[in-house]
Amino acid sequence: MSKFWSDIVHKLTPYVPGEQPKLENLVKLNTNENPYGPSPQVLAALKLEAAESLRLYPDPNSDALKAVIATTHGLKASQVFVGNGSDEVLAHVFQALLKHSRPLLFPDITYSFYPVYCSLYDIEYQTIPLAADFTINIDDYDQPNGGIIFPNPNAPTGIPLALERIKKLLQTNTQSVVVIDEAYVDFGTESAVNLIRTYPNLLVTHTLSKARSLAGLRVGYALGAADLIEALTRVKDSFNSYPIDRFASAGAIAAMQDVTYFGTICNKVVETRESLIKALKKLGFDVLPSGANFIFVKHPLKSGAELTASLRGQGIIVRHFRSPSRIAPYLRITIGTDSQSKVLIEALADLLSEDAS
C-alpha cells in the first residue's frame, strides 16, 4: 500500500498461476503443458532468429503470422488478432469488447483469470452457476448482458460443450459479444471457429501454449469479424506497438504450418488421457468427462488437498483449487506421457492402500 499507487491497484486481487517449480525431476502435471516438445521444424526456425537482425524491431502488425493463422482456419488476415500469449489477448478482449453498462456473464466455476480482468478494467460481471453435473447450461445465459465468455472445454473441469449449444446461444444472444476461449479445444472438443462467418458477435480465442507445445514462447490469438478484431488492434496499438518478438513470430509460424506433428501429438495426448481415466476409475476415482489435456477428478475417501499434498511429497505436482467449495474435493491433473501416468497411478494406488491398511 502506498500513496503513490493509482486507486485501481489497491482493489486488485491478482491471478495466481500454477506453480513453476525450480526443482528438477518433478512429475509436473499442474499447468496443462504439453508433455511433448515443439515440432523439430519449430526448433529449426527458432535457431535462425538468433541473429544480427535482433537489433531491429519486429513487424508491429505481425502480418506474416496473421496470414498463416488465417490460412489455417480458412479466414482472412483481418479476422485474426495476435498477442503475447492468450492471456494478453484476453486482457485486450475484456477491455475492448466486454465493458458495457450491462454485466458480463461467465460461469461461477471457470478460468479464474476472468474476474481478475474485470477488476483491472472495472467491468461489472455476474457469474452463472454450472449445473449439478458441472456442465454449462446455455439457457441460463438468456438474460440482458454486456457480453458472455466461457472456455470450451471449460476449465478447470475439462467438460466440452456441444457446438449445437453454442450455435443456439449465438442465435438468441445477438446484441453482445460471445467469447469462446478455446485454449484446450484441440484435444477432442468441437471448435466454434466455423461459426465466425455466420455470427458477427462471435470471438474465439486460441493459444499455442497447449496443443502446439509452446508455453515458453507466449503466443495466442483471437478470431472473429473484422470489426471485433479492429477493436482489439486499437487497444493493442495504444498499449504496446510490438508485443510479438522475432522468436515468437518465427516459432508460431512454423508451429501452425507443421500440421502433421500437431495432429500426432494431440492424438497421443488424447490416448494417454483415455488410459489414465480408465486406471483412475479402477482406483475408485470419479472423473468428469474431458475434452481437454487435463482431467478433473475426486476420490470418495481422500480430500483434494490431502491428495495434492501427498503427491507433492512424492515429487508429483497436480493442481488443487481451494475455492469455490464445490470444486475443493477435486484435483486437476494435466495429461503427461504414458510413463508419467504410470508413476502417478502407482503413487495414488500406494496412497489409497496405506489408507485401507
- Residues 189-218 binding a copy of itself (CB under 8 A) are 200-201, 209, 213-218
41 makes contact with a copy of itself (CB under 8 A): no
Least distance to a copy of itself, CB of residue 346, Å: 24
Instruction: Please tell me the total number of residues recorded for the chain in this structure.
Output: 357
Question: Which of 27, 29, 42, 347 touches a copy of itself by CB under 8 A?
Answer: 42
- Cross-sheet strand order for the sheet of 220-224: 80-83, 220-224, 202-207, 178-181, 147-151, 104-107, 125-128
Alpha helices in the chain (DSSP H): 7-11, 40-49, 63-73, 86-97, 114-121, 163-172, 226-236, 246-257, 259-282, 304-313, 338-356
One residue of 206, 246, 273, 332 binding a copy of itself per CB under 8 A = 246
Return the residue of 76, 197, 234, 281 that touches a copy of itself, per CB under 8 A. Answer: 234
353 binds a copy of itself (CB under 8 A): no
The interface with a copy of itself within residues 284-323 (CB under 8 A) comprises none
Residue 120 is a binding residue for a copy of itself (CB under 8 A) = yes
Question: How far is residue 259's CA from residue 209's CA, in Å, rounded to a whole number?
Answer: 16
Within 146-175, the residues that bind a copy of itself by CB under 8 A are 175
**Total residues interacting with a copy of itself, rule: CB under 8 A:** 87
Question: Per rule CB under 8 A, is residue 31 in the interface with a copy of itself?
Answer: yes
Q: Is residue 28 exposed (0-12), middle (13-18) or buried (19+ Cβ within 10 Å)?
A: buried
Nearer CB in complex with a copy of itself: 54/131: 54
Segment 7 to 26, residues that bind a copy of itself, using CB under 8 A: 7-9, 12, 14-17, 20, 22
* Residues 6 or more apart whose Cβ sits within 8 Å of residue 53: 246
Hey, which residues between 64 and 83 contact a copy of itself (CB under 8 A)? Answer: none
The SS3 call for residue 292 is coil
Phi, psi of 192, deg, nearest 5: -90, 5
Neighbouring CB atoms inside 10 A of 231's CB total 18
Whichever of 12 and 259 has its CB closer to a copy of itself, that residue is 12
Q: Which stretch binds a copy of itself (CB under 8 A): 136-144, 241-249, 295-303, 306-314?
A: 241-249
Beta carbon of residue 176, minimum distance to a copy of itself (angstroms, whole number): 7
CA 215 to mean position of chain CA atoms: 11
Spatial separation of the C-alpha atoms in residues 255 and 337, rounded to whole Å: 21
239 sits near a copy of itself (criterion: CB under 8 A): yes
117 binds a copy of itself (CB under 8 A): yes
Work out how close the CB of 214 gets to a copy of itself at its nearest, in angstroms, rounded to a whole number: 6
- Tell me the torsion sign for CA atoms 234, 237, 239, 240: positive
